[in-house]
Copies of this chain bind each other. A is one copy, B any other.
Amino acid sequence: MSPCVTCTRRESGFCGAAFRTAPPRPSTNGDQQKFAAVGAGKQLLTQGKSSDYVFVLCAGWAFRYIQVSDGGRQIDRFLLPGDLFSSLSIFEEAPHFSAKALTTVQICGFARAELRERCFDDRELQSVVAQSCLSDGRDAAQLIAILGQCSAEQRIAYLLLHLMRRIAASQVVRERRYPFPLRQQHIADAVGLTPVHVSRVLSLFRERGIVALADGVLEVIDAPALERIGQL
Contact = CB atoms under 8 A, between A and B. Distances in A.
Report copies per complex: 2
B74 A149 contact: yes
A144 B76 CA distance: 7
A54 interface: no
Contact of A123 (B86, B120, B148): B120
Nearest to A140: B140
A144 B147 contact: yes
A168 interface: no
B148 A191 contact: yes
Contacts of A96: 137-138, 141-142
B88 A149 contact: no
Contact of A137 (B70, B131, B140, B148): B140
B91 A131 contact: yes
A148 B64 CA distance: 14
Residues of A contacting B: mostly: helix
A150 B126 CA distance: 37
How many residues of A sit at the interface, in one of the four size bands?
Answer: 35 or more
Interface in A76-130: 76, 86, 88, 90-92, 96-97, 119-120, 123, 126, 130
A199 interface: no
Nearest to A150: B68
Residue of A123, A141, A147, A150 ringed by the most chain B CB atoms within 10 A: A141
B145 A144 contact: no
A133 B88 contact: yes
A142 B74 CA distance: 9
B140 A66 contact: no
Contacts of A130: 90-91
A200 to B, nearest CB: 18
18 contacts: A66-B142, A66-B144, A68-B149, A69-B231, A76-B145, A86-B137, A88-B133, A88-B137, A90-B130, A120-B123, A133-B137, A137-B137, A137-B140, A140-B141, A140-B144, A143-B144, A148-B190, A149-B192
Closest 5 CB pairs of A and B: A148-B192, A147-B147, A74-B145, A66-B145, A140-B140
